Amino acid sequence: MPVKNAKTILTQSLQRLGYALLLPVSILPLAALLYRLGQPDVLDLAVLSLAGQALFSQMPLIYAVAIAFGLSRQGQGAQALAGAVNFLLLSSALTTLAPGLHADMICGLLAGLTTALVCSWARGLRLPAWLRPLQEDLPGMLLSALVCLLLVIPLALLWPLLEEGISLLASHLLTTPFGAFCYGVLNRLLVPLGLHQVLGSLVGLGESNLQALASAQPLHEGYVAGLYPVIMFGLPGACFAIWLHRKRMQRLPQGGLLLTLALTSALVGITEPIEFLFAFTAPWLFLAHALLTGLSLAICSGLGIKVGSYFSAGLLDLVLSYSTGEHSFWLIPLGILFFVAYALLFSQLLEHAPLSLPSKPLAEELPRLATVAPTDPQMLAIQYLKVLGGMDNLQAMSVCLTRLSLRVRNMGLVDQGRLTALGSLSWIVLNDHQLVLVLGPNAGLVEGQIRMLAERQSVPLGIEPSKAPLSQSR
């Protein structure tokens, strides 16, 4: 296999894993809220705290189910069930063979991955005629369970060394200013590839984070405090700089849109809509953002600020994690400094190399301002279909939070000039057949409506935009 193809396959596989990891991560806010609301200083309801703690303690099992389900081609429930069963088999067998290991999280990850890989391979097997009604699920479930049991022996031998290395990395290297800087830069640089979730999950496999999950405490408190100034203050400062720049350039300022993105980042910690606004169209801005993130983590590490994060490092997360942190108050003045730093630096960078947000000068846009994107989800999906060249031009589609990945037959039929009018924040054309739209909160809504329309018209839509349909690959 050529090296280029192997790297592409590896990147795409890791991206799918990153998207699958978003499913269990999305449960953490609910668990954190339940646990915090049940505390004596809030509602003093033990049942809520116990419910939140139960969710945290079962995160390895939830990871196994979510990965097995997320990596399945059509979202099969049987594969999710197999992931849960295989986690229980792997964890129980490992506890019997090598008691005392802190391996629940790695068991969850391995069970989910093994289930997805083996079930996908097993669907190509041919069974005897009398077993063919069970061909979809039975071989994969049985074979994945067998593989998980076989994994117990090497895992019992290797995991103590691997866990010691991960604990050393998380407890000693990442807690130094330089280690925190490297983690922060790498964490942001992996966002466009969807791999930052993979990085966070890997460094969270150590004993300290398993204990944090079991006690419902914030994770990675030794080195992630620096994300708060960037997510709550820095990225809103970047939005402010972009707004000022567009006004100076006499272009449509898009103040309402940028304010929405800034509030989304500051309040709930969802940064992708802002980051994808300039990740592809202005990589110099994204590099500056990654370096500033690393600097923030390094400063917090040097000052001894230790505030963990349950899920996103936004204001909601800070409220939940504040009481358990050290020197938590200093995140606010530090955040104000980062707001100013982002605003000034982005303003200077935009002066020398403007952000290529697709829109005409304001004087040319005014006649078109009456054309507002429809608020009805189905009408919005129909308008996107028209812009994309119609249903016949669409081959495959997948969604990840704020992004819609598409594969089209003919890129020339896509009217890119009308995407902004429909509310698309940004987009990138990857090749002659693939493009990615950054739609913000509407991404899942548009994807669901387009699929519903495709089913009504009996048009088959794939779920892997990176792969050509069989009719084209022959």
Model pLDDT for residues 44-60, shown as the tens digit of each residue: 888 888 888 888 888 88
Confidence (pLDDT) at 334? 96
Pick the more confident residue, 354 or 331.
331
Average the pLDDT over 455-461 and give the result.
77
Average the pLDDT over 320-342 and give the result.
92
Catalytic positions, written as ranges = 400
**What tokens were used for 4?**
């280029």
Does 360 have pLDDT greater than 60? no
pLDDT in tens, 165-182: 877 777 777 888 998 999
Q: Which fold would CATH assign to domain 371-473?
A: Gyrase A; domain 2 (3.30.1360)
Does 473 have pLDDT greater than 50? no
Q: What residue ranges of the chain are covered by domains with CATH 3.30.1360.60?
A: 371-473
Segment among 80-84, 125-129, 304-308, 440-444 with least mean pLDDT:
125-129
Does 223 have pLDDT greater than 50? yes
CA neighbor of 335 nearest in space, from 263, 238, 231: 231
Segment among 19-33, 127-141, 300-314, 357-371 with least mean pLDDT:
357-371
Pick the more confident residue, 278 or 373.
278
Cα 153 from chain centroid (whole Å): 32
Cα separations (Å) of 4 from 7, 11, 12, 184, 259? 5, 11, 12, 28, 41
Is the C-alpha dihedral spanning 304, 224, 172, 193 positive or negative? negative
Does 153 have pLDDT greater than 80? yes
What are residue 406's DSSP bridge partners?
397, 435
CA neighbor of 292 nearest in space, from 246, 250, 243, 337: 337
Q: Which pLDDT band, with edges at 50, 70 and 90, does 214 fall under?
A: low
Backbone angles phi, psi at 48, to 5 degrees: -70, -45
Backbone angles phi, psi at 144, to 5 degrees: -65, -35
Confidence (pLDDT) at 21? 74
Spatial separation of the C-alpha atoms in residues 97 and 88, rounded to whole Å: 14
> ∠377-383-387 over CA atoms, to 5°?
140
